[in-house]
Structure 1
């Protein structure tokens, strides 16, 4: 009975939060009040707040030494840098291999119509638009796995506490998954594909719940490291990929709008985390 409740609660928290985030995005875009740059700012704020206001504080509440956690954060940042490098190299290799066969025939036409500078800019845009997807999904999966272990731990202690923990996870994951969906769509993915990928990452919470149910005591000691690794992916995506896209000269009104949406993303996650801690206590 407890295992069935854990699996149900982790799936509701992991996948349900993704679908709630999708519904909120559809509502905002349908009303015409949300543009691409607004969503990028919101995503950056949500990812940074999830890392700094929720995951890292929770990791440092455990018994792990701060020096080891900071070392884990550093290793995680370097790992996700290398992961994105590999992802960009893979896409660049595919692009180069596909272009080899048609380059000779199209070269004169391309230079006549656009010039070499346009082709170079398009190549850079292709690379930039494809980066960050696997970095984000890897960190999201680690994060969801840790959430599953947390929910299982609460259920093992008390059934009512388990449902409260699941509701808390659901609450703080919604604004974070809004950021995930925005990032993946910005990378050139279709709406349904992005929804499927983030939903699969959310489903990893059920795996964490299953593992947590059987070996909860052993995995509790590893939880801070899961949280720090997930944090490193969110920090890397926000600072290395999203915010650089927003760093260009804009009219004052648009710049203020970017800052407002960034603050909205931070505020949404912070408020959800505070409400979640209130429910737990």
Structure 2
């Protein structure tokens, strides 16, 4: 059944998000805020999607909301615990952040790139996708240039 798999996967995903947030705050406050906002921005559509999957699996709205909230609640405890553990083992922080950045880039490109390869897609659509990817990269560069 997809419902429990979604909830377990989302709990693990949110736990990793907490570790990434803690790592970024240990670099500096501005990076912590930027990463936290990025995580929130990607979590909103994901949680809405998970909620929809749970509803599709015949969970009631109340039960789907409860389980979705429960699976999402692993982020904050993971961030707090990770903050103190990573403060002791600071050498791991660059590797954690590099891994998380690579994961985000891989996921984004694996979702967007196949769409760009369709032969019957209009040039306008391909250019729009490309410009949006470049806007995302530009936004990341701008945030880190201004705040770091």
Give 1:169 deviation, angstroms: 0.6
Deviations 1:185-238 (A, max 9, x none): 11110112111111111110012202221122476557859x97xxxxxxxxxx
Cα separation, 2, equivalents of 1:188 and 1:212? 36
Structure number with bigger Rg: 1
CA contact (8 A) 2:23 2:96 kept: no
Q: What is the aligned counterpart of 2:61 among 174, 180, 191?
A: 191
In 2 relative to 1, CA 135–280 (structure 1 residues): closer, same or farther, beyond 3 Å? Answer: farther
When normalised by structure 2's length, the TM-score is 0.61
Structure having greater relative contact order (Cα 8 Å, sep ≥ 6): 1
Aligned length: 110
Match of 1:16 in 2: none
When normalised by structure 1's length, the TM-score is 0.34
For the pair 1:147 / 2:8, whether they are aligned, the reply is no
In 2 relative to 1, CA 277–138 (structure 1 residues): closer, same or farther, beyond 3 Å? Answer: farther
RMSD: 3.2
Q: What is the aligned counterpart of 2:3 among 133, 136, 161?
A: 133
Which stretches in structure 1 are left out of the alignment for 5+ residues?
1-130, 229-266
In 2 relative to 1, CA 174–153 (structure 1 residues): closer, same or farther, beyond 3 Å? Answer: same
Give 1:179 deviation, angstroms: 1.0
Which stretches in structure 2 are left out of the alignment for 5+ residues?
104-128
Give 1:279 deviation, angstroms: 6.5
